[in-house]
Amino acid sequence: MHGIGNDFVMVDAIRHPIDDASLPELSRKICDRRFGVGSDGLILARKGASAPFEMRMFNPDGSESEMCGNGIRCFSQFLKKQGLWDADRVDVETGAGTLTLETMPDGQVRVDMGPARLSRAEIPVLGDPSSSYIAVPTVVQSLCMEGTAVSMGNPHLVFFVEDVAAVPLETWGPLYERHPDFPNRTNVHFVQVVCSTHLIQRTWERGAGITLACGTGACACAVAGFLNGLTERSVTYLESGHVLMTGPAETVFVGSWG
């Protein structure tokens, strides 16, 4: 399945349980675009402890991610296609907490992403745990750029640039992903502000590399733009401070792995 080009191998691990110890290696194999199926991640549907379902997501390098915005929209549609859930609203446990997914009348999925986390302790980033990380000069090797860090349940580092197409993403992305101030590594986004309601985003995802889209990243970039006074509140905020993300999820093909 894919959400605006961010693609995933979805597995029903309720009816077809998989041993936890095998998941990192399985993810490395199945996500390989030459010798496996090929995807930006492996997502498993399991029964939840306190919610009806749990989503687990593994990156192509075998590491596990707390959350995935495009992936959880696919997860919602996957539950229906597998006959595991037939209501338009469902709660799902993730590494970022329990999230509520809702299928809209037009078939898109809306996700209550919870609040953006802005303190260094929540992201996490080294330094004063109660302080934020907004427009901070962020140095790695010979690069020094002002970065803003936001967590949407997983860490994001956002840089605003004049021309996003000129960014050598395959070089700068992995350098900033492993910046020493981010103990759990971080997703990295370079963003061009076209106007106060239009951003162009290029993404290097932690554990996956360059991807066509990143749902949690899009939310983080919108929040970072607002925090830096560059954009309007183009995402939907609830009075609770939660961010709502809405978008499509599409099935590409169905197969078996043997």
Active-site residues, by number, are: 68, 214
Structure tokens at 112: 């209550």
Rounded Cα distance between 9 and 71, Å, is: 10
Those residues with Cβ within 8 angstroms of residue 161's Cβ, 6 or more apart along the chain or in another chain: 145, 167, 190, 191, 192
Those residues with Cβ within 8 angstroms of residue 209's Cβ, 6 or more apart along the chain or in another chain: 60, 170, 173, 174
Q: Quick one: how far is CA 93 from the chain centroid?
A: 15
Sequence letter at residue 169: L
Rounded Cα distance between 190 and 44, Å, is: 29
Look at residue 9 and give its three-state secondary structure: strand
Burial of 180 (0-12, 13-18, 19+ CB in 10 A): exposed
Write phi, then psi, for 97 (nearest 5 degrees): 110, -175
Query: Which alpha helices (H) appear in the chain, and where do they start and end?
Result: 23-30, 69-81, 169-177, 215-227
